Structure 1
Amino acid sequence: MLARTFVALVAGAALSLAFEPVAIAYLMPLSLAALALTTRDLRARSGFVVGLVFGIGFYFPHIYWMSSSIGAVAWIALAGIEAIFHGLFGAAAAVLHRLRAWPFWLAGAWLTMEFTRSTWPFSGMPWGRLGFGVVDTPLAPTLAYVGVNGVSLIVATIGFIVARLVVSARGYERLYAAVGLVGLTSVAVVPSVVPWTLPTRAQTTVAAVQGDVPGAGNDILEDFRGVTQNHVDATVALARDVAEGLRPRPDFVVWPENSTAVDPFDDASTNAQIQTAVAAIGVPIMVGAIVDDGPDHILNQGIVWDPDTGPGERYTKRHPVPMGEYIPFRGVFEWAGLTESGQLARIGRDMRSGDRVTPLDVAGVAVADAICFDIAYDDGLAIQQENGAELLTVQTSNASFIFTDQIEQQFAMTRARAVESGKYVVVAATNGVSGVIAPDGSVVDRTQRLTQEVLVETVDLRTGLTPGVRVGGVLPLLSALSSAVGLLLGIRAYRGALTEPRNGSRTRRRTRRRDGRDGRDELHQAGSGAGDR
């Protein structure tokens, strides 16, 4: 058992290296193969321990950026919760191994676990989904066909078939596993030869403004008025370049999340700053603003600010970050005195979630907006695309993470979303990383960190939906149903192994031996291979 847990720890650490900043994507199936091997021939409770250790090896280094940006306590708590989900997978894997086609049952259970931890509790934590790690591999175009969830399922299946190949004792079993591995991999990379392409309705020119953050660059609130002024200055400078013929005139401009950290409707100074920028450029600006919502709540919004009609349509962030933008069970934390200092003291009011389902109308363009961590979730972007979005924008404030690997991890997720949607994505960040991403995931242009830069690019407006957007939300449900069926079959197979005579032996019921010792270990060993009969 000690050897299994050590291998699981190393395999989990290897999985963390599959993502940014190392990004060796081919470690994903190998690490999952190792996980499958370490959970084989175990009981559920032992499988839980092995899976938990795997989760610790994976998630603690994967989100280590939280330690320095938000706090060590938040990092340990969140990574620990995510590791528990991997422990539950390990317990399920121990049961599913008893079924003949266990690589496929395990893959369904993996997707079920991955999706569940990405949505629950408190919206979950989608970081570390396998589908986000393939953007620089031949598997990337498959995102447009089956979505992030589908690619996670494919990668997991490949890894578990590799494990099956390793443990196959008979020649024909190895042959079947090898054929299955080659066949699945071949089908999975077909989209790289035949990529899914949506029709182009027209083109539009978009400017993404990265105004930069004063001071060290990692605290948006230290000089929030300076942040707004930086974005005004960058936009006015762009207007001068346009007037002098140095840059093309954009059809609209995207400012990042927290480009105004106070309510622009109530704060006269901030309102005047925005009006100055809009008047100078003469086209709508998508302003990222914090808006008051009563004495106890705020909204994180993208506001379409028109030069003629002023503020109009708004998108409200769908997935505020617990302990970062709101405090669950605030009363409990206040009673314990934990909101009086530290990170929680900065959250004076809780941020409400948005529920917009239609794209924004920005200069005649149907824009699906996402604010910061929203890009990691499936629901918001998918529903806006279903309602006609032709272009994706991401307004993000990564200043708190500017010195960490979170920046590149989120940008890689955004690239995956571009491929999945088959549409261009425009990213505006306060001080990095902003960029324009093509539907094939390639980076048209991007900024550097801690700089003031403006990107101006002409992009296609793509209509319709890719299959990945259409089916991506259905796959987790199907996987959950299959996992439930698989667990029932696995439990039944184990019980059958305990009661069914085999090779002339007596019925293997759990009995108390005459010498007083429990015969459970012997019974387990006798029945551990029942699923392979």
Structure 2
Amino acid sequence: MDYTLGTAFVRPFSLAAFTGLLLTLSFPSVGHPLFAWVALVPLLTAVCSATSINAFWLGLVAGVIHFSGTIYWIPTVMVDFGGLPVAAAWFVHLVFVIFLGLFIAGFAISIAVLVKQFGRVGLMFAPAVWVTMELGRIYLFTGFPWLLLGYSQVPFLVIAQAASIVGVLGISILVVAVNATVSYSWVGRGNVRSLPAMVTGSVFVLVVAFGVWRLERSVLLNKGTSLTVAAVQGNVSQDDKWNRTRRDTILTTYLKQTRDAAAAGAELIVWPEAATQFPLAHDERSEMIRSTARATNTHLLIGTTEIQTDEQTRYYNAAHMVGPSGATTGVYRKQHLVPFGEYVPLQDALFFVSPLVEAVGSFSAGRSAQVLPFQDDWVSTAICYEIIYPGLVRELVLAGADLLTTITNDAWFGLTAAPHQHFQMARMRAIEQGRYLVRSANTGISGIVDPYGRIISRSALFEEAVLVSEVRLLTDVTFYGRIGDVPAYLGLLVTVLALGWRRR
């Protein structure tokens, strides 16, 4: 089918654009998770009668609109905090959005090929193909798995409980399966159209039944050892964060919040990412923090910078566990660095972003999933957007983590949807791993989440806050914790076999 001006051109691209819009509306803070269940229907409808090349362009249109609508805040960050000219920031953003859009383009062209090979029943390969593309988003070029489709369902906790078995990618598979079933029921032919609806409907009912059962039992709330934790939120603006004239005020704020949290009974107090303006291990001001830990008899998990000097000087975004003795008992170094935030990829090719290179500097990546000691137990932390990597958090749990924490500085994002998106993705990790999650964010959203994704307490954006709550240190490993993303890799295998199939 070759598109020419007129209906044959406008209709399919309108459908693709509508999919991009619906995908955007599936995520916070402007939409609703219900949109995700039908978001791909317009694109699939258009693709099933398109040539491969036209399917590619349809998918790219959907992808560009989707990612333009969900990560629209990136250019502002690069301009305001990276010193990049407006035109250069928007150009880099456009390149990045097109790159992400290629994954949806790959999905669309694959479906077009499968429909050609298998007829319109080829639409039912959509869940396998989609999750293959999401695996690509996780792992290719260090990955950027921001807002995988399964994350849209976190507000529907009954649905999200299935992540304890199949992970966020498994939730993506379910959502796309419903989309594919609706599409096939619309465009398919013959009595066989009812079979996918019966299978998908049965799976959906089982998922809901499991979710209701798991939430009603909530057995993890009575297991393990009780612990009172606190997340402190200093609400330090990005303009003030590295202002030398503000460093004493910032430190005083966190020390006061720590004493307040300890007075409320907190035994573990979590500070945000990069809470100190100085490297904790190399500055005399760290004694003020250590003496506070001794005076309050608490463990402090501190986001800080670490400097390592051997053959060359390396800088790490790190978290230190400071024990009641005042000594550092463990260090975690961030493994997944933020592109254009902590390093600039392809610096030689992107020569025009030199102001951003100077503003960002260059951090080194940590190399191990290090858990931090807490009495006789272990605590993990994920720094900033590391929390959106399901495999990394699973690795920390398998290393022994009984409690999940995540520390971040979302001040960059301002009052955009990004902090809400980030918090929603963090909640998914609690469900997947069956662990309590403590999140400390410089300007919010901080929160404490139970192993079922329910919010125990949370802060608002851009306010000082001290959240104190009881959690439990848990050792049970979920089914997802044991098998990881096996369902997603099965989807990859199905996709490869289906695309390689040749009818005799």
1:165-218 per-position Cα deviation (integer Å, ceiling 9, x unaligned): 111233x223223323321221221222221754722111111111121xxx23
Task: Say if 1:182 and 1:313 are closer, same or farther in 2 by CA, change over 3 A.
Answer: same
Q: Distance in 2 between the 1:455 and 1:30 partners?
A: 38
Question: Could you tell me the percent identity over the aligned residues?
Answer: 26
Q: CA shift at 1:82, angstroms?
A: 0.2
User: Which residue of 2 is the match for residue 141 of structure 1?
Assistant: 161
Q: Structure 1: which amino acid aligns with 2:325?
A: D
Q: Structure 2: which amino acid aligns with 1:327?
A: V
Q: Distance in 2 between the 1:464 and 1:228 partners?
A: 42
User: Which residue of 2 is the match for residue 86 of structure 1?
Assistant: 104
Task: Say if 1:254 and 1:240 are closer, same or farther in 2 by CA, change over 3 A.
Answer: closer
SS in 2 for 1:265: helix
User: Which residue of 2 is the match for residue 308 of structure 1?
Assistant: 325
User: Which residue of 2 is the match for residue 531 of structure 1?
Assistant: none
Residue 120 (1) aligns with residue 120 (2): no
2:452 is aligned, of 415, 425, 440, to 440
User: Which residue of 1 is the match for residue 192 of structure 2?
Assistant: 173
SS in 1 for 2:290: helix
Q: Distance in 1 between the 2:481 and 2:70 partners?
A: 27
Q: Which runs of structure 1 show a deviation greater than 6 angstroms over 4 or more consecutive aligned residues? A: none
1:265 is aligned, of 271, 278, 281, to 281
Residue 347 (1) aligns with residue 373 (2): no
8 A Cα contact 2:294 2:326, kept in partner? no
Q: Distance in 1 between the 2:430 and 2:247 partners?
A: 28
8 A Cα contact 1:212 1:227, kept in partner? no
Task: Say if 1:420 and 1:33 are closer, same or farther in 2 by CA, change over 3 A.
Answer: same
8 A Cα contact 2:124 2:184, kept in partner? no
Which consecutive unaligned segments of at least 5 residues does structure 2 have? 4-8, 79-88
User: Which residue of 1 is the match for residue 86 of structure 2?
Assistant: none
Q: CA shift at 1:410, angstroms?
A: 0.5
Q: CA shift at 1:477, angstroms?
A: 2.2
Q: CA shift at 1:96, angstroms?
A: 1.4
Q: Distance in 1 between the 2:321 and 2:252 partners?
A: 15
1:265-284 correspondence to structure 2 within 5 Å = 265-269=281-285, 271-284=286-299
Q: CA shift at 1:232, angstroms?
A: 4.1
1:80-131 per-position Cα deviation (integer Å, ceiling 9, x unaligned): 110111111111111112326424422101000011022212x221112111
8 A Cα contact 2:232 2:258, kept in partner? no
1:115-160 per-position Cα deviation (integer Å, ceiling 9, x unaligned): 1022212x22111211111112231111112111111111111111
1:161-240 correspondence to structure 2 within 5 Å = 161-170=181-190, 172-195=191-214, 197-198=219-220, 200-213=223-236, 217-219=237-239, 221-223=241-243, 226=246, 229-239=249-259
Task: Say if 1:79 and 1:37 are closer, same or farther in 2 by CA, change over 3 A.
Answer: same
Q: CA shift at 1:219, angstroms?
A: 3.4
1:411-426 correspondence to structure 2 within 5 Å = 411-426=423-438
Q: Structure 2: which amino acid aligns with 1:153?
A: I
Q: Distance in 2 between the 1:402 and 1:346 partners?
A: 19
SS in 1 for 2:112: helix
Q: Distance in 2 between the 1:228 and 1:298 partners?
A: 23
Which consecutive unaligned segments of at least 5 residues does structure 1 have? 497-533
1:441-456 correspondence to structure 2 within 5 Å = 441-456=453-468
After TM superposition, the structure 1 stretch with the greater mean CA deviation from structure 2, 462-471 or 76-85, is: 462-471
Q: Distance in 2 between the 1:277 and 1:402 partners?
A: 31
8 A Cα contact 2:17 2:61, kept in partner? yes
SS in 2 for 1:427: strand
Q: CA shift at 1:17, angstroms?
A: 0.5
Q: Distance in 2 between the 1:168 and 1:86 partners?
A: 22
Q: CA shift at 1:311, angstroms?
A: 1.4
The TM-score, its normalising length taken from structure 1, stands at 0.84
1:398-434 per-position Cα deviation (integer Å, ceiling 9, x unaligned): 1111322110000000111111111110001111111
8 A Cα contact 2:262 2:298, kept in partner? no
SS in 1 for 2:339: coil
User: Which residue of 2 is the match for residue 60 of structure 1?
Assistant: 68
Q: Distance in 2 between the 1:93 and 1:208 partners?
A: 46
8 A Cα contact 1:220 1:399, kept in partner? no
Higher helix share: 2
User: Which residue of 2 is the match for residue 252 of structure 1?
Assistant: 268
8 A Cα contact 2:59 2:105, kept in partner? yes
1:21-100 correspondence to structure 2 within 5 Å = 21-70=29-78, 71-97=89-115, 98-99=117-118
Q: Distance in 2 between the 1:116 and 1:445 partners?
A: 34
Q: Distance in 2 between the 1:22 and 1:54 partners?
A: 18
Q: Distance in 1 between the 2:352 and 2:153 partners?
A: 44
8 A Cα contact 2:261 2:466, kept in partner? no
Q: CA shift at 1:78, angstroms?
A: 1.6
Q: Distance in 1 between the 2:249 and 2:336 partners?
A: 27
8 A Cα contact 1:388 1:464, kept in partner? no
SS in 2 for 1:322: coil
SS in 2 for 1:189: helix
SS in 1 for 2:343: coil
Task: Say if 1:191 and 1:322 are closer, same or farther in 2 by CA, change over 3 A.
Answer: same
Q: Distance in 1 between the 2:467 and 2:64 partners?
A: 39
SS in 2 for 1:91: helix
Task: Say if 1:210 and 1:325 are closer, same or farther in 2 by CA, change over 3 A.
Answer: same
1:323 is aligned, of 303, 324, 340, to 340
Task: Say if 1:479 and 1:228 are closer, same or farther in 2 by CA, change over 3 A.
Answer: farther
Q: Distance in 2 between the 1:268 and 1:359 partners?
A: 26
8 A Cα contact 1:210 1:431, kept in partner? yes
Q: CA shift at 1:224, angstroms?
A: 6.1
Q: Distance in 2 between the 1:385 and 1:420 partners?
A: 11
